[in-house]
């Protein structure tokens, strides 16, 4: 690991000092630093490396921020399998679970080879109309189809492997990876799925029928979603970071991606401890 990219969340309290501390540590290890644009902004400098440079050259990406910042770093890497280490400057941090006070000691372990890689599955998303593809994306967490603020309840047909599954009458629907099971899906009543499993989770948002429950599908499943009677504003959003307004005649196709996100965790990492810490399991009234 010679070339180390840094992605930081600007405007976070003390982010300049934190970033400088990490850079000083890396320089003491004779590492080459690749500053992503937001990291340069955090340092108040003008020079930064392009996304293409980081994608092509980085041996490791360090993310200083919350889960949203880490997701954006994974999206920057696209199909690349470059390992990513998240250092949590956010609030919840299921993906960025290294605490800032443990940052340098964790990096020392990583450079000593004392770490593990967790492969997290991603989903490929295609939106098509009768003639062509109108939108495509990859997600590490989820894609969401939901109605606008003033729209009526929508009906969404879901087909799995060319077999009709259900018409969900709801405010919307979430298609999630196991990594995303602790994100929006969890808030909508979906299950917590161990993050290194390969599966696809379908969770309706505020369904009109109590019988419409979340379902966990095999990772080889290929889904097709179509909003019926698209008379109101309906949007598709991917990882909460990009999306579009759905147009009449469009259908959404979802399947497991061929590429993975590679997250670095230390050998003492314990997912259940993480759940206890983040969700307050075991505390009174938790």
Comparing CA positions, the residue from 172, 167, 177 lying closest to residue 232 is 172
Where does residue 81 fall: left (phi above 0), alpha (psi -120 to 50 degrees), or beta otherwise?
A: alpha
- Give the span between the Cα atoms of 227 and 168, in whole angstroms: 9
**Known catalytic residues?**
67
Q: What is the DSSP string of 182-240?
A: GTHHHHTTPPP--TTS-EEEEEEES-SSTT---EEEETT--EEEEEES--S-EEEEETT
The number of beta carbons lying within 10 Å of the beta carbon of residue 283 is 8
Q: What is the DSSP string of 123-186?
A: EEEEEE-SSSEEEEEEESSEEEEEE-TTPPPEEEEEEETTEEEEEEEESEEEEE-SGGGGTHHH
Which two structure tokens, joined as six digits, stand for 71? 């997701």
């Amino acid at each position: 690991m010679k070339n180390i990219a840094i992605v930081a969340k600007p405007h976070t309290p003390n982010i300049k000092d934190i970033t400088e501390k990490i850079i000083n540590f890396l320089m003491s290890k004779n590492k080459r630093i690749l500053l992503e644009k937001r990291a340069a902004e955090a340092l108040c400098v003008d020079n930064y490396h392009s996304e293409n440079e980081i994608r092509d050259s980085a041996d490791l990406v360090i993310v200083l921020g919350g889960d949203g910042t880490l997701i954006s770093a994974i999206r920057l890497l696209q199909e690349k399998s470059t390992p990513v280490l998240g250092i949590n400057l956010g609030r919840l941090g299921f993906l960025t679970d290294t605490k800032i006070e443990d940052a340098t000691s964790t990096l020392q372990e990583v450079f000593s080879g004392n770490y593990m890689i967790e492969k997290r599955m991603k989903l490929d998303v295609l939106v098509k109309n009768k003639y062509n593809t109108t939108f495509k994306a990859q997600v590490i967490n989820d894609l969401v189809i939901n109605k606008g603020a003033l729209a009526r309840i929508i009906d969404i047909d879901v087909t799995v492997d060319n077999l009709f599954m259900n018409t969900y009458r709801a405010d919307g629907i979430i298609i999630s990876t196991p990594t995303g099971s602790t994100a929006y899906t969890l808030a909508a009543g979906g299950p917590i799925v161990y993050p290194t499993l390969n599966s696809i989770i379908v969770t309706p948002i505020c369904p009109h029928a109590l019988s419409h429950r979340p379902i966990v599908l095999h990772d080889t499943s290929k889904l097709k979603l179509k909003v019926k009677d698209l008379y109101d504003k309906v949007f598709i959003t991917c990882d909460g970071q990009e999306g579009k307004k759905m147009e009449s005649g469009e259908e959404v196709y979802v399947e497991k991606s061929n590429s993975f996100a590679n997250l670095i965790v230390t050998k003492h990492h314990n997912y259940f401890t993480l759940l206890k810490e983040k969700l307050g399991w075991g505390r009174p009234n938790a």
